[in-house]
């Protein structure tokens, strides 16, 4: 079984502005969990707190507990070490433009000290296969730069790069918002395949996407987790009227 996430009494601030209020949430291992809610409600801040990406923002601070499996994410472990366990894919594909496809995927491994070419070759191929990109690029991984790929391919390259360091958790912040419908479909298929091996948390504005890919869904509003349950219940019989109002389009 994979690694689940337990969040207890999580609060987050940017300077004096509180962005998250008392978030309590158990993310199931080897499932996809979707986070929905209007813009600015704290979804992206929340997942950034899971792998301490918020620390890259000046004056950001967090209180509370985040456990990745049995490991406390805030126990003094370096953020770099933590992020080897928790991969992240951002809204806009961000391949390293001057690097080849191969170098993009291998970048994290090289950063962690791996130099053996046979090992790197194997991991690059496996990661590109896992991200459903290998067949499209296998003849040009050393010739083409990451930036030369289409938007959808770039996003799958970024997923391959995240998978190469063998994380236990994969965070995805609006991974399809900049993509066309065909590319979006490929990413969604990929999420279905990957959750057999990884615990996935996906932020999405697309409620149909949440319904398609996630077994569990959390609804955020004004920095608070209003409701968290099985996706089917959230969309068909929510417990909180605010959830129902958002899902039915009364606001958001």
Q: Could you give the percent of the chain with pLDDT greater than 90? A: 81
Give the residue ranges of DSSP H helices in the chain.
43-50, 79-85, 101-111, 117-130, 134-137, 151-164, 181-194, 207-213, 231-236, 241-247
pLDDT in tens, 26-68: 999 999 999 999 999 999 999 999 999 998 888 999 999 999 9
pTM of the model as a whole: 0.91
User: pLDDT averaged over the chain?
Assistant: 93
pLDDT in tens, 175-229: 999 899 999 999 999 999 999 999 999 999 999 999 999 999 999 999 999 999 9
Domain 5-247 CATH class label: alpha beta
Q: What does DSSP say about strands 17-27 and 199-203: parallel, antiparallel, or unpaired?
A: unpaired
Give domain limits for the chain. 5-247
Quote the CA–CA distance of 15 and 13 in Å, as a whole number: 6
Quote the CA–CA distance of 34 and 228 in Å, as a whole number: 10
Q: In the chain, what are the helix, strand and coil shares in percent, each to the nearest 5?
A: 40, 25, 35
User: Please, which pLDDT band fits residue 1 given cuts at 50, 70 and 90?
Assistant: low
Q: Which pLDDT score, from 0 to 100, does residue 79 have? A: 85
Q: Could you give the percent of the chain with pLDDT greater than 70? A: 99
């Amino acid at each position: 079984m994979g690694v689940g996430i337990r969040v207890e009494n999580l609060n987050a601030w940017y300077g004096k502005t509180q962005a998250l209020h008392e978030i309590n949430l158990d993310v199931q291992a080897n499932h996809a969990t979707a986070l929905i809610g209007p813009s600015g409600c704290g979804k992206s801040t929340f997942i950034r707190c899971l792998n301490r990406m918020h620390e890259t923002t000046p004056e950001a601070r967090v209180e509370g507990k985040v456990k990745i499996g049995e490991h406390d994410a805030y126990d003094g472990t370096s953020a770099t070490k933590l992020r080897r366990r928790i991969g992240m894919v951002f809204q806009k594909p961000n391949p390293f433009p001057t690097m080849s496809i191969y170098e993009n995927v291998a970048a994290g491994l090289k950063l962690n000290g791996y130099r053996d070419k046979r090992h790197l070759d194997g991991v690059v191929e496996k990661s590109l296969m896992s991200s459903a990109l290998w067949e499209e690029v296998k003849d040009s991984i050393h010739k083409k730069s990451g930036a030369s790929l289409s938007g959808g391919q770039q996003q799958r390259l970024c997923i391959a790069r995240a998978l190469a360091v063998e994380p236990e958790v994969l965070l995805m912040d609006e991974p399809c918002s900049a993509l066309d419908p065909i590319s979006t479909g490929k990413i969604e298929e990929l999420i279905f395949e990957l959750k057999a091996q990884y615990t996935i948390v996906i932020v999405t504005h697309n409620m149909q996407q949440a319904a398609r890919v996630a077994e569990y869904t959390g609804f955020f509003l004004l920095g608070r987790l209003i409701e968290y349950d099985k996706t089917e219940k959230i969309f068909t019989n929510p417990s909180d009227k605010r959830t129902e109002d958002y899902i039915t389009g009364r606001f958001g």
